[in-house]
């Protein structure tokens, strides 16, 4: 569904991704793991077109989207759950969800569609029902992550990208979020999961990539990758020959 | 006594409506971009001086003059957006830097206006009559009343747009975090552009309405920016209605102090009051935490 072809990308002329190729087939969960600073978040933000690319191509359903603008990427159905959740804290949970729905709003049957999406996410995270009128910034980290995932799902994405969803959350909440991701895959959603917690992320994934200092060091079916030397070296900071 | 008080309140309401309109426009731009637009008063000046140009010099009928005036302020707003805001925001400038940029914009607009109209006080023709009319025991005129009505109309329109439309929600989201708004598919730059145009529109109309009452000259902008800014700070920058209420409060205070004391002390006394309010309530009288980014 989405392919990165030898992408070189970065910020202010520095290079954060150095010839990265990643393939995300439809209906699968692909995990990208690696230590802090390996370039994982840059992958997500490159796909969202917030980071400029120096060379390489991003293809979505075969179409070159390297030159697209961030809003156009969202319109295509590529939606991100940003690192640190990044809810609109002063706005209510419902307003946050409405903003997530922006992609589908303004179309003829959008009112009915909104109800459908809202019911769908409230079904996934029933706890939000009591929180719907609350300001998003006043909720716990776990609840905020649920709203952040729901906000992205409101757009009915084709590709859902999650940047470090476990960041700062209790293990129990992380398990809950990962269970939801497995459920979303069963519903046919394609997911790119970028995570520092390699073991859980790879256990969930159909296919995985291990990154270190801007390069892919190893790739393979998620479970096979959990014990590769490249994974350990990525986290211990040794450069693989 | 009651007579005097009601006159003062009417005068306060009129001036307060002007400050309120400017505070409202300032906070609309602030709401989407977190920038205080120091050129806001220049939009008011352009509104008043355009009335001079189109209604006196060119002698156009007022509806045509009104449209021409709106074209002038919208062009000025777009110039500010493309000339100051966008180049700076694309270079990731902080809001403070952009504020200084708008001050530069204000000085340029003032300079250009000076070349066109010169330094003198100009007669700004009223759109409506200045003939006194009597409402109960109050004597007022249609121009004054329409200014107050326009203030209320713009206030309601702004409220409706911001809190009852999808577009308004996008505006508020962009103000909280433009980068994440972008991730929702919202085109943040267009949102900010709209806020510049809409607020210039409000300020331009305010200028056209207040010109005949206060007189117009090219240097009037800065003082009005300051008054509007005071209004917004006193009420609370985060909310356009708080800023508008702050404008009313300042107008009333000015009038009451000038009426019962002396106008000499009105200005410093207001500053002291604002200072006291901000010490107790740093977000302003009615401000809330939506003013905080993230």
DSSP B196-235: HHHHHHHHHHHHHHHHHHH-B-TTHHHHHHHHHHHHHHHH
Q: What angle do CA A24, A30, A31 make, to 5 degrees?
A: 140
Q: Verify that A61 and A169 share a domain, yes or no.
A: yes
User: CA nearest B289 in A: which residue?
Assistant: A90
Q: How many helices (H) and strands (E) does chain B have?
A: 12, 2
Query: Could B184 and A106 be called an inter-chain contact, meaning their C-beta atoms sit closer than 8 Å?
Result: no
Q: Verify that A174 and A220 share a domain, yes or no.
A: yes
Q: Verify that A136 and A22 share a domain, yes or no.
A: no
What are the structure tokens assigned to A68, written together? 């697209």
User: CA nearest B170 in A: which residue?
Assistant: A99
Query: Could A86 and B181 be called an inter-chain contact, meaning their C-beta atoms sit closer than 8 Å?
Result: no
Q: Verify that A45 and A148 share a domain, yes or no.
A: no
Q: Verify that A172 and A230 share a domain, yes or no.
A: yes
Query: Could A71 and B186 be called an inter-chain contact, meaning their C-beta atoms sit closer than 8 Å?
Result: yes
- Listed in sequence order, the residues at least 6 apart from B226 whose beta carbon sits closer than 8 Å to its beta carbon are B41
Q: Verify that A150 and A165 share a domain, yes or no.
A: no
Q: Verify that A34 and A133 share a domain, yes or no.
A: no
Q: Report yes or no: A35 and A29 within 8 Å, Cβ to Cβ.
A: no
In sequence order, the β-bridge partners of residue B197 are none
Query: Could A95 and B184 be called an inter-chain contact, meaning their C-beta atoms sit closer than 8 Å?
Result: no
- B1-280 classified as CATH 1.10.3470: yes
Q: How far is A134 from chain B (nearest CA, A)?
A: 13
The total number of structural domains that make up chain A:
2
Q: How far is CA A231 from CA A166, A220, B28, in A?
A: 19, 12, 51
User: Per-residue pLDDT for A241 more than 50?
Assistant: no
Last residue of a domain, one of A157, A179, A212: A157
Q: Report yes or no: A30 and A162 within 8 Å, Cβ to Cβ.
A: no
Query: Could B170 and A100 be called an inter-chain contact, meaning their C-beta atoms sit closer than 8 Å?
Result: no
Last residue of a domain, one of A122, A157, A192: A157
Q: Verify that A144 and A165 share a domain, yes or no.
A: no
Q: Verify that A235 and A166 share a domain, yes or no.
A: yes
Last residue of a domain, one of A108, A133, A157: A157
* B187 contacts on A by Cβ (under 8 Å): 71
pLDDT tens track, chain B, 294 positions: 788 888 888 999 999 999 999 999 999 999 899 899 999 999 999 999 999 999 999 999 888 999 999 999 999 999 999 999 999 998 889 989 999 999 999 999 999 999 999 999 998 888 877 788 888 778 888 888 999 999 999 999 999 999 999 999 999 999 999 899 999 999 999 999 999 999 999 999 999 998 888 888 999 999 999 999 999 999 888 788 899 999 999 999 889 888 887 778 778 888 888 888 888 888 787 766 444 443
Query: Could B180 and A91 be called an inter-chain contact, meaning their C-beta atoms sit closer than 8 Å?
Result: no
Least confident of A9-13, A160-164, A182-186: A9-13
Q: Verify that A73 and A173 share a domain, yes or no.
A: yes
Q: Verify that A186 and A222 share a domain, yes or no.
A: yes
**Segments forming the whole domain that contains residue A229:** 1-77+160-241
> What pTM did the predictor assign?
0.88
- In chain A the beta strands, taken as DSSP E runs, fall at 2-10, 17-24, 29-34, 52-60, 63-64, 78-81, 159-163, 190-195, 207-212, 215-221
What are the structure tokens assigned to B203, written together? 């300020």
Q: How far is B292 from chain A (nearest CA, A)?
A: 8
* A106 contacts on B by Cβ (under 8 Å): 166
What are the structure tokens assigned to B164, written together? 């009852």
Chain B touched by A167 (CB under 8 Å)? no
| A residues 105..134 contacting B (CB < 8 A) | 105-106
């Amino acid at each position: 569904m989405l392919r990165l072809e030898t992408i070189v990308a970065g910020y202010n002329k520095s290079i954060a991704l150095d010839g990265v190729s990643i393939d995300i087939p439809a209906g699968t969960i692909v995990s990208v793991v690696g230590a802090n600073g390996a370039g994982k978040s840059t992958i997500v933000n490159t796909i969202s077109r917030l980071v400029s690319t120096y060379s390489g191509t991003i293809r979505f359903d075969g179409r070159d989207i390297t030159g697209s603008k961030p809003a156009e990427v969202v319109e295509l159905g590529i939606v991100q759950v940003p690192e640190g959740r990044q809810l609109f804290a002063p706005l209510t949970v419902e307003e946050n969800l409405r903003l997530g729905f922006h992609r589908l709003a303004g179309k003829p049957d959008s009112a009915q569609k909104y109800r459908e999406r809202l019911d769908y996410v409230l079904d996934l995270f029933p706890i939000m029902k009591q929180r719907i009128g609350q300001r998003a910034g006043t909720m716990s980290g776990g609840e905020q992550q649920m709203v952040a995932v729901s906000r992205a799902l409101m757009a009915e994405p084709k590709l859902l990208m999650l940047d470090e969803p476990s960041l700062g959350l209790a293990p129990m909440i992380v398990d809950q979020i990962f269970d939801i991701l497995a459920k979303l895959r069963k519903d046919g959603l394609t997911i790119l999961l970028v995570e520092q917690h390699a073991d859980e992320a790879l256990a969930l994934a159909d296919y995985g990539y291990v990154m270190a200092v801007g390069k892919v060091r190893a790739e393979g079916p998620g479970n096979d990758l959990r014990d590769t030397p490249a994974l350990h070296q990525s986290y211990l900071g040794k450069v693989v020959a | 006594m009651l007579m005097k008080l009601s006159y003062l309140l009417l005068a306060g309401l009129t001036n307060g409506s002007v400050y309120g309109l400017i505070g409202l426009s300032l906070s609309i731009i602030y709401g989407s971009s977190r920038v205080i637009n120091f050129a806001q008063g220049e939009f008011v000046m352009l509104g008043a001086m355009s009335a001079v140009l189109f209604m006196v010099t060119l002698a156009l009928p007022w509806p045509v003059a009104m449209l021409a005036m709106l074209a002038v302020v919208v062009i000025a707003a777009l110039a500010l957006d493309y000339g100051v805001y966008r180049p700076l925001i694309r270079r990731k400038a902080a809001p403070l830097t952009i504020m200084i940029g708008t001050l530069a914009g204000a000085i340029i607009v003032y300079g250009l206006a000076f070349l066109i109209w010169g330094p003198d006080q100009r007669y700004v023709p009223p759109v409506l009559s200045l003939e006194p009319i009597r409402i109960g025991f109050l004597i007022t005129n249609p121009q004054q009343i329409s200014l107050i009505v326009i203030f209320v109309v713009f206030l309601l329109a702004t409220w409706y747009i911001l809190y009852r439309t999808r577009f308004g929600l996008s505006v508020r989201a962009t103000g909280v975090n433009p980068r994440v708004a972008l991730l929702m598919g919202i085109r943040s730059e267009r949102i900010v552009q709209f806020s510049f145009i809409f607020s210039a529109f409000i300020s331009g109309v305010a200028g056209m309405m207040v010109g005949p009452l206060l007189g117009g000259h090219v240097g009037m902008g800065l003082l009005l920016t300051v008054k509007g800014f005071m209004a917004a700070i006193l009420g609370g920058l985060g909310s356009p209605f708080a800023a508008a209420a702050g404008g009313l409060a300042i107008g009333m205070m000015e009038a009451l102090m000038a009426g019962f004391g002396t106008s000499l002390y009105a200005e410093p006394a207001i500053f002291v009051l604002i200072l006291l309010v901000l010490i107790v309530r740093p977000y302003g009288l009615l401000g809330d935490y939506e003013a905080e980014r993230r």
